[in-house]
Amino acid sequence: MILASQSPRRKEILSDFGFKIKVKVKEIEEKSNKKTIIEQIEDIANQKSEIIAKENINEYVLAADTVVVLGEEILGKPKTKEKAEEMLNKLSGKMHQVITGYSLINKKKNLKIIGHDITNVHMKKILENELKWYIETEDSLDKAGGYGIQGKAAIFIDKIEGDFFNVMGFPLSAFVEQLRKQNFDINKIINL
């Protein structure tokens, strides 16, 4: 299977499950004209998989897009420490949602599976000295919402409702459930 993502976390999740992964990516403008956040995220994931699938028609191509949503605000990937600190201050002491949209395409088999998963994340109140320490580790950069649940930011998480792997970057359980609905058996799933 081709993973149309440079995310080491997605590759790790899928590889650990047993998928044989090749990574191929092309830059796209991650924008969508769809109305709802969920539709936008699924659309961006689909754009990522489509561009790779067109050049690899015999292959299964999987792409995903993960965002952190606080109320109606989408918190993307901070590029600077200052932006990460700003995002984490917004999330501190609050519940937010992590939404991942995914798209699996195989052009030759005329297969397209698009879906998403939502996990509620309850974050503790982050103390100022802990936030400064975390920001200096640079673990916050280039992660949706400015944190990675599987890393040092785990100390900020009070509880989650939903799939841990969705927060990490790929909703494995929801994805495999979608494949089951398409009558993929487990051996077929692993050998995509």
Q: How confident is the prediction for the chain on average, in pLDDT?
A: 93
Which is catalytic among the residues 65, 117, 139, 185? 65
Range of the domain at 124: 2-190
What is the domain count for the chain?
A: 1
The residue count for the chain: 192
* CATH assignment of the domain containing 40: 3.90.950.10
Structure confidence at residue 60 (pLDDT): 94
Residue 192's pLDDT is 66
Of the two residues 76 and 13, the one the predictor is more confident about is: 13
Establish whether 65 is a catalytic residue.
Answer: yes
pTM reported for the whole predicted model: 0.91
- Kindly tell me the burial class for residue 139, based on how many C-beta atoms sit within 10 Å of its own C-beta (0-12, 13-18, 19 or more): middle
